[in-house]
Amino acid sequence: EIVAAVERAFGGGPLAGRRVLVTSGPTHEPIDPVRYIANRSSGAQGTAIARALADLGAEVVFVTGPAEVSPPPGVEVVAVETAEEMRAAVHDALPVDGAVFAAAVADWRVANASGSKMKKTAGALPELELTQNPDILAEIAGLGSDRPALVVGFAAETDDVVANATAKRRRKGCDWLLANDVSPATGIMGGTENRITFITEDGAEDWPREGKDAVARRLAGMMAEALA
Amino acid sequence: EIVAAVERAFGGGPLAGRRVLVTSGPTHEPIDPVRYIANRSSGAQGTAIARALADLGAEVVFVTGPAEVSPPPGVEVVAVETAEEMRAAVHDALPVDGAVFAAAVADWRVANASGSKMKKTAGALPELELTQNPDILAEIAGLGSDRPALVVGFAAETDDVVANATAKRRRKGCDWLLANDVSPATGIMGGTENRITFITEDGAEDWPREGKDAVARRLAGMMAEALA
- Separation CA A61–CA A156 (nearest Å): 23
Residue-level pLDDT at A120: 79
Q: Is the pLDDT of residue B20 over 80?
A: yes
- Separation CA A83–CA A128 (nearest Å): 17
- Separation CA B40–CA B61 (nearest Å): 23
Closest CA–CA distance from residue A221 to any residue of chain B (Å): 30
Q: Is the pLDDT of residue A225 over 70?
A: yes
User: What does the pLDDT average to over B90-100?
Assistant: 98
Residue pair B118/B126 in contact (Cβ under 8 Å)? The answer is yes
Mutate: best of B112, B114, B117, partner A, most A CBs <10 A? B117
CB contacts of B36 in chain A (<8 Å) are 37-40
Residue B126, SS3 per DSSP: coil
Q: What is the per-residue DSSP string for A93-160?
A: H-S-SEEEE--B--SEEETT--SSPPP--TT----BPEEEPP-HHHHHHT-STT--SEEEEEEEESS-
User: What does the pLDDT average to over A136-156?
Assistant: 96
A152: number of Cβ within 10 Å: 25
| pLDDT grade for B156, boundaries at 50, 70 and 90 | confident
* Predicted complex ipTM: 0.87
pLDDT in tens, A1-20: 666 666 666 668 999 999 99
- Which domains does chain A possess? 2-108+129-226 (3.40.50.10300)
Residue-level pLDDT at B149: 98
Q: What is the per-residue DSSP string for A204-225?
A: EEEPPPEEHHHHHHHHHHHHHH
Residue-level pLDDT at A157: 85
Kindly give the interhelix angle for B212-226 and B44-55, rounded to the nearest 10 degrees.
50
Residues in a beta bridge with A23: A63, A101
pLDDT in tens, A70-98: 999 999 999 999 999 999 999 999 999 99
- Alpha carbon of residue A214 to chain centroid: 17
Q: Do A130 and B126 touch (CB under 8 A)?
A: yes
Residue-level pLDDT at B57: 96
